[in-house]
A and B are shown apart, each in its own frame.
Chain A
Amino acid sequence: MTSPETRPGTRPEARRGGLLELRDVAVTYRSAAGDVPAVRGVSLELAEGEALGVAGESGSGKSTLALALLRLLPKTARVTGEIMLDGEDVLAMTWGRLRAVRWASASVVFQGAQHALNPVRRVGTQIAEPLLVHRMATPARARTRVTELLEQVGLPAWRARSYPHELSGGQRQRVMIAMALACEPQLIIADEPTTALDVMIQAQVLTLIRSLIAGRGISLIMISHDLSVLAATCDRLAVMYAGRLVETGPSREVFTGARHPYSRALAEAFPTVGDFASRMAPRGLGGDPPDPMRLPGGCSFHPRCPVALPSCAWRDVELWPADRAPEEPASPASSAPSHTAACVHVLPDPEAGPEPETTGEDETPAGRPAKESA
């Protein structure tokens, strides 16, 4: 890893939002049962060469958010807010422009993407396809490139001639990563890229991903529920719960010093092998993930929260500066807080605040929201 000074994402004065900027993005699916608010107002920014990890449990809206970035959502989804990719408004792009952007600027490694492979075509042909379709290489050059790409993801060149069913799950996922790399995008959105992989391949893929970011200035949004994996790969983390960001900050800080109780539970979820306290005692968070159609009022985490206050049932806190300790001097160059959390316990006075309002189910943000979110 490079030193913190040379990593663009960790410099306080780094031009955030250089590549990607989300403002109050919300996604609602229309379904037979009613509207599903899957993403509810997410703002975040990503600099060139920066790696952002998005964590959260299933159903929290991570994939929906990722798909929204390139307008890959089904027609039943309504997206509002603003998504600026390299200065261009993604939500206003024509389809032609969008198609070009999807390969050349940003590409997605989908969750469970192994199914996206065509079962009756050799994987080499499938990796070469975007290069040929977008006229980025001659057929001969594409063949060489396929070999390079396979090597990069740790597969021998002869695998180009294999069919998907001849590969194991992990091998197919690596083919998908090779496809995402084919057109040398500026931004890679990797939705659970290593979740289905064994630890060794995960280590290889993470090493590969880290070298791509460090060596070529590729930006990364990596989605996972495994905070330890994200912390080892990304500069910053954003933790999602029920369609919102509940904590953002530098990776190590969020992983080892989470301020939101949900992030804390995520950080503690995976046992340390050899630690006898976790032997035959899997640890998890009680309760069920919330149904986005029936979100609890107040802080949506309150029914599962081990440290909830009575006011949490009606009071909804937005992201708030949560730098470790007030006595630690803030970096003079940073006007925006680097660590934020949406929890009443990071407020200067948790007990103070507005009385329950008559807005019913509506969220009632307490205090001023943090200026910078991620």
Chain B
Amino acid sequence: MTLLEAVDVHVEFTSRGRRARAVDGVNLTVGEGEIVALVGESGCGKTTLARTLLGLERPASGAVRYGGAPLTYSTRALKAYRREVQLVPQDPTGSLNPRHTVYEAVAEGPRIHGLPGERERVASALSRAGLRPPERFFPVYPHELSGGQRQRVVIAGALALDPKVLVADEPVASLDASVRGEILALLLRLRAELGLSALVVTHDLGLAWNIADRVAVMYLGRIVESGPVEQVLSAPSHPYTQALLSVLPESPAPIVLGGEPPDPTRVPGGCRFHPRCQVLAGGKAAEAGVDGRCRSQPLSILPAVPGSRVACYFAEVSRAPL
């Protein structure tokens, strides 16, 4: 059952007088007990979409729906909503108050929401996040922790509210090997035991492979490919997904995309990936007779369906993955 949903969401910013289409038409669903990975390049709009799903940004058009109902943006309604859908922010250092102890940081959420059993709540959240024994971390300040330990405090802060959905923005990017495995296993365990859903925002395809049921690949404000992880990551159809997989450290033939990094104030016409597309540049799109459309005909927005979908003229005609 669909729990959290983005319906044709557009989010815009004004950047030095220009309109930045940070999220430019996205359909995405997170089902109950489902783990969805949102992957894509830096600046492609993942965090903006995540913040919009959390009610922290208001869509310029389109809607966010939770449990079938559109979000209400009153302070009260948002407060209740945030208990259900918790953010694990991208950047632990920036999100922790340097003058608050670990205990205070994790207790903040339960206090705001007036939840009982604060001390036990904090202790259990900390130990679930891998800070054990938790009591030892109660009086510690963020500057006394290493980067990874700080991220675990932040994750504990989200877990302290027993949410239904975690929106985790790069939850393990700053964590070392052992913690990475532990936190990812934790997300799987929380899902198995509590039916917790998660939208995991990441550039780490290995993470998606490790824990996600579905993956959505985002490029310049749009989802360009989505579907079950096994399918999308073992046999990617979109040239951008193929490039992303090709630059993993152990990959034999990296396609390092050059060109102008995507800029939401200058979204190219036609297929928005076309200025950097290796399939178009290599002449394969022309061979297939789609190059004209690549350059000038806008692609339609992908629907949020469980199966595989790809927004690419070449993939449509060649069908079989490259």
**B226 interface contact, C-beta 8 A:** no
Q: How far is it, in angstroms, between the C-alpha of A274 and the C-alpha of B182 when the chains are bound?
A: 21
Tell me if A356 counts as interface (CB < 8 A to partner B). Answer: no
A192 within 8 A of B: yes
Q: A199-B204, A282-B184 are in contact. Are A59 and B149 (CB under 8 A)?
A: yes
Are B181 and A269 closer than 8 Å at their CB atoms?
Answer: yes
Q: Which 4 A-B pairs have the closest CB atoms?
A: A284-B181, A58-B148, A170-B42, A198-B203
Q: Once the chains bind, are A270 and B173 in contact (CB under 8 Å)? A: no
Could you tell me the distance in whole angstroms from the C-beta of B217 to the nearest C-beta in chain A? 11
Is residue A329 within 8 Å, beta carbon to beta carbon, of the partner chain?
no
A-B contact pairs, 28 of them (CB 8 A): A58-B147, A58-B148, A154-B258, A156-B260, A156-B263, A162-B16, A196-B170, A196-B173, A200-B41, A200-B42, A200-B203, A200-B244, A200-B256, A201-B261, A204-B256, A204-B258, A225-B177, A228-B250, A229-B249, A271-B209, A273-B206, A273-B208, A279-B230, A280-B188, A282-B184, A284-B181, A286-B178, A287-B178
User: Which one of B3-11, B88-96, B280-288 is at the interface?
Assistant: B88-96
Q: Which of A63, A200, A202, A304 contacts B146 (CB 8 A)?
A: A63
Q: Is B111 an interface residue (CB 8 A)?
A: no
* Contact B256–A280 (Cβ < 8 Å): no
Complex contact A196–B174 (CB within 8 A): yes
Contact assessment for B178 and A57 in the assembled complex, using a CB-CB cutoff below 8 Å? yes
Determine the distance from Cα of A284 to Cα of B91 in the docked complex, in whole angstroms. Answer: 22
Q: Which residues of A contact B16 (CB under 8 A)?
A: 161-162, 166
Give complex CA distance A166, B264 in Å.
11
Docked pose: A266 CA to B179 CA in angstroms: 11
Give Cα distance in the complex from A304 to B179, angstroms.
13
A199 and B146: CB pair below 8 A? Answer: no
A166 close to B40 (CB less than 8 A): no
B204 touches A112 (CB 8 A): no
1/0 per residue B102-140: CB within 8 Å of A? 000000000000000000000000000010100010001
| Residue A278 CB within 8 A of the other chain | yes
Partner of B249, one of A204, A228, A283, A286: A228
Q: Which residues of A contact B182 (CB under 8 A)?
A: 284
Which chain B residues lie closer than 8 Å to A2 at the CB level? Answer: none
What 17 additional pairs, Cβ within 8 angstroms, besides A162-B15, A196-B90, A271-B210? Answer: A58-B147, A58-B148, A59-B148, A63-B146, A154-B261, A168-B47, A169-B47, A197-B42, A198-B40, A225-B176, A266-B177, A273-B209, A274-B233, A284-B182, A284-B185, A285-B181, A289-B178
Interface range for B: 35 or more
Instruction: Please give, as numbers and ranges, the residues of chain B lying within 8 Å of A170 by CB-CB distance.
Output: 41-43
> Which of chain A's residues has its CB closest to B233's CB?
A273
Considering the chains assembled together, what is the distance between the CA atoms of A317 and B167 in angstroms? Answer: 44
Q: What chain B residues lie within 8 Å of A154 (beta carbons)?
A: 258, 261
Cα distance A161–B181 when bound, in Å?
A: 40
A207 to B256, CA, bound (A): 9
A 110-147 to B, binary, CB cutoff 8 A, 1 in contact else 0:
01101100000000000000000000000000000000
A195 touching B247 in the complex, CB below 8 Å, given contacts A168-B42, A269-B180, A282-B188: no
Check B254 for interface membership: any CB of A closer than 8 A.
Answer: yes
- The smallest C-beta distance from A97 to any residue of chain B, in angstroms, reads 28
Cα distance, A156 to B148, chains bound together (Å): 32
